[in-house]
Amino acid sequence: MTTQVNKFDTLLIANRGEIACRVMRTARRLGLKTVAVYSDADATARHVREADEAVRLGPASARESYLNVDAVIEAAKRTGSGAIHPGYGFLSENGAFVNALDQAGITFVGPPASAIAAMGDKSSAKARMHNAGVPLVPGYHGDDQDDALLRAEADKIGYPVMLKASAGGGGKGMRVVESGDGFQAALDGCRRESKAAFGDDRMLIEKYLVQPRHVEVQVFCDTHGNGVYLFERDCSVQRRHQKVLEEAPAPGMTPELRREMGEAAVRAAQEIHYVGAGTVEFLLDADGSFYFMEMNTRLQVEHPVTEMITGQDLVEWQLRVAMGERLPLNQDELTITGHSFEARLYAEDPEQDFLPATGRLERFALDLAGAGLAPDQVRLDSGVESGDVVSMHYDPMLAKLIVHGADRDAALATLNRALAALDVQGVVTNRAFLQRLATHPGFKNLELDTRFIERNEATLFAPKAYRLEEYASAALIGLGQLARECESDSPWDRHDGFRLNAPHTIRIALCDPASVQADDSDAVVVVEGTRESDADPWNLTLTGGSVDGATLTARLQQLDGDAVAVTLNGHRRRLQARRDGHVVVLSDPAGETRLFWRRIDAIDHGHHEAESTLTAPMHGTVVTLLVEPEQRVEKGMPLMVMEAMKMEHTMTAPADGYVECFHFNAGDTVGQGDVLLDFAADA
Ligand code: ADP
pLDDT in tens, 194-213: 888 888 999 999 999 988 99
Cα(203) to ligand 1 centroid in Å equals 14
Total Cβ atoms within 10 A of residue 426: 18
SS3 call for 280: strand
Q: Is 214 in the pocket of ligand 1 (CB under 6 A)?
A: yes
The alpha carbon of 216 and the centre of ligand 1 are apart by a number of angstroms equal to 12
Residue 153 confidence (pLDDT):
97
Classify each residue of 629-641 as buried b or exposed e, where b means 16 or more C-beta atoms within 10 Å of its C-beta: eeeebebeeebbb
Do 674 and 613 meet the contact criterion of CB atoms below 8 Å apart?
A: no
Residue 280 pLDDT class (50, 70, 90 cuts): very high
Cβ atoms of 38 and 53 within 8 Å: the answer is no
Q: What is the pLDDT of residues 539-584, one digit of tens each?
A: 898 888 778 888 999 999 888 878 899 999 999 998 888 877 778 8
Atom of ligand 1 nearest to the CA of 235: 14
**In the annotation, is 298 catalytic?**
yes
Does 138 sit in the ligand 1 pocket, CB within 6 Å?
Answer: no
| 157 residue type, one letter | I
- Does pTM surpass 0.75? no
Q: Which atom of ligand 1 is nearest to the CA of 294?
A: 7
Q: Specify the pLDDT at position 497.
A: 38
Q: Is 168 in the pocket of ligand 1 (CB under 6 A)?
A: yes
Nearest alpha carbon to residue 342 among 237, 420, 490, 425 = 237
Our answer on whether the CB atom of 212 is closer than 6 Å to any ligand 1 atom is yes
d(CA 441, CA 445): 6
pLDDT, residue 519, reads 47
Nearby residues of 286 by Cβ (< 8 Å), 6 or more positions away: 211, 212
CB 128 within 8 A of CB 110: no
Q: Residue 385 CB: number of other CB atoms within 10 A?
A: 13
Closest ligand 1 atom to the C-alpha of 174? 3
Residue 507 bridge partners (DSSP): 528
Is the shortest distance between the CB of 450 and ligand 1 below 6 Å?
Answer: yes
pLDDT of residue 645: 63
Answer for the pair 106, 83: CB distance below 8 angstroms, yes or no.
Answer: yes
Of the residues 239, 293, 295, 454, which should be mutated to test ligand 1's pocket, given the most ligand atoms within 8 Å of the CB?
A: 293
Q: Is residue 640 within 8 Å of 624, Cβ to Cβ?
A: yes
Q: Are 266 and 255 in contact (CB under 8 A)?
A: no
Inter-axis angle of helices 431-438 and 408-421, nearest 10: 160
Average pLDDT of the chain?
88
- The single-letter code of the amino acid at 285 is D
* Distance (Å, whole) CA 77 – CA 81: 6
Ligand 1 pocket mutation pick from 141, 161, 162, 239 by most atoms within 8 angstroms of CB: 162
Cα 602 to ligand 1 centre (Å): 57
Residue type present at position 678: D
**Ligand 1 atom nearest to CA at 238:** 16
Confidence of residue 522 (pLDDT cuts 50, 70, 90): low
Under a CB-based contact definition with an 8 Å cutoff, are residues 268 and 348 in contact? no
Question: How many CA atoms lie less than 13 Å away from 137 in the CB half-sphere?
Answer: 29
> In this predicted model, which residue has the larger pLDDT, 501 or 679?
679
Three-state DSSP class for residue 607: coil
As a whole number, mean pLDDT of residues 298-316 equals: 98
Catalytic residue among 22, 46, 298, 431: 298
Each residue of 622-640: pLDDT tens digit?
888 999 999 999 988 889 8
Percent of the chain with pLDDT over 90: 58
pLDDT-based confidence at 349, cuts 50/70/90?
confident
681 strand-pairing partners: 657
**Amino acid found at 242:** Q
